[in-house]
Structure 1
Amino acid sequence: MTRKSDDMRLRYDEGCLAVHALNQIGDRWALLVVRELTFVPKRFQMLRHGLPGITAGVLTARLVQLQKAGVVEHDERLGVYSLSEAGRGLLPVLEALCRWALTIPGHDPSRFISPTALMISMGVNLQRQRVQEGQYLAGFAFGKEAFEASIVDHQLVTVAVARPKAPFVLKSSGNGMAAAVYGPVPLSLQMAQGTVGVEGDIAAAQTFLDLFQLLPQPA
């Protein structure tokens, strides 16, 4: 007789707290589903849009698993999935993984980057020592998703919006925007190359992007 039914079986039979966490969110794709729900509730197909390698069956299974773990909530009337309070508590875990990844060679930024993944990484890779006095507000438009990002107390605050209202709005795919944020090519040249579009104050946009760099962060 097993201690758990098949759908709730222990993945690892240990008493370690890290193992307890992995028993809830340690399966493949689970944390990435959480990532995609970080800033806004989403419908099933919108989740798949941010996870192009996942099948419908696997996504369904992960959503069921995360609901049973109390990480994800499902509004059946609206058909949307959102993070619970426990789920929102996983953002620092995702950020810590990003910081750790900066120390590991082999990262390939040419692979798919979802808009949400980029916005989380920007919160990690803000070079806080470069932030000057004044207001910073940026808009990011990715087609189906849009965000406003501001800097408050040297921290990036990201909010999902229907349409950004900011001094400038950057428009591109996740990978194109990542090239604009982290790449060495000036924004004006990236605009000329068609990598990214900008509405509004281009100089302010360049100043904002200059605050981010892929560098290992101190603990």
Structure 2
Amino acid sequence: MTDAGETTRIRYDEGCLAAHALNVFGDRWALLIVRELMLAPKRFQMIRQGLPGITATVLTQRLGQLAQSGVLTHDAALGLYALTDSGRALLPVLQAMCRWGAVHPGHDPRRFISPTALMISMTAMIGDARGHVAAAAFRTAREGFVQRLSGDGVLRPQALADPQGDFTLEGDGNSLARAVYGPVPLARLADEGMIGLAGDARAAQDFVDLFRLR
């Protein structure tokens, strides 16, 4: 779709609450922008790096629309975009879409996935993790995260510049997704240079064994 095609907003003229919600965040790219900001404020170029295919013009438009709707704020002095409470409340929507998408035919896990998208998908695709306690650190070239399990089975992600955990997995979004969701043991992926693995390797394998795409 061209930039010109993106400038025309289609709004639903209905009293339905679902239609109203789509009028706020239903434009193309809008919810994925929310996804990229879900774990931390980001600058324009960092958001764009997580959304291959979006143009600068469209990203500018969507950021403006989401700010006008109260979903995010922009600190012009720091150049940072951040979600409001309203924007962060969309996390369960993203999680539900991950679970729905995982069982819908046609998903290709080899295509690009941003590190933030992976972290959020993990919160949706974790199996029964009650009783498990772990702190899993993830490092990419530009971002760091810790995923924490405290025994209640709920995974809590946090973006950190210097993540520390029981173990550390390092790579890009796709190599880390392969480590988390794929069938190949972490030790082999590390030996083949697909990922970096440091710390408690047994705990790392036990952790990723909690996740399934389907």
TM range (shorter): over 0.9
Q: How high is the TM-score relative to the length of structure 2?
A: 0.93
Q: What's 2:133 paired with?
A: 135
SS of equivalent to 1:102:
helix
CA distance in 1, matches of 2:8, 2:71: 15
Give aligned pairs, total. 207
* Identical aligned residues as a percent: 56
**Residue of structure 1 in register with 2:3 after alignment:** none
Aligned equivalents of 2:43, 2:147: Cα separation in 1: 23
Provide the residue aligned with 1:124 in structure 2: 124
Q: Quick one: structure 1 residues 134 and 91, their matched pair in 2 at CA, closer, same or farther if it must change by over 3 Å? A: closer
Aligned-partner SS, 2:103: coil
The 5 Å alignment of 1:69-88 reads: 69-88=69-88
SS at match of 1:159: strand
Distance 1:8 1:149, change over 3 A: same
> For the residues of structure 1 that align with 2:30 and 2:105, how far apart are their CA atoms?
24
List runs of 5+ in structure 1 lacking aligned partners.
Answer: 1-6
How far apart are the structure 1 equivalents of 2:114 and 2:9? Answer: 31
| Secondary structure at the counterpart of residue 123 of structure 1 | helix
Q: Which runs of 5+ in 2 are unaligned?
A: 1-6
Equivalent-residue separation in structure 2 for 1:111 and 1:103 (angstroms): 17
Aligned to 1:192: 191
Q: Whole-Å Cα distance in 2 between the matches of residues 9 and 54 of structure 1? A: 16
Could you state the TM-score of these two structures normalised by the residue count of structure 1?
A: 0.91
Q: How does 1:27-66 map to 2 (within 5 A)?
A: 27-66=27-66
After superposition, the CA RMSD in angstroms is 1.5
Amino acid at match of 1:21: A
Matched-pair contact (CA < 8 Å) for 2:114–2:173? yes
CA positional deviation for 1:112: 0.4
- What residue number does 2:163 align with? 164
Rounded to whole Å, the distance in 2 between the matches of 1:88 and 1:15 is 24
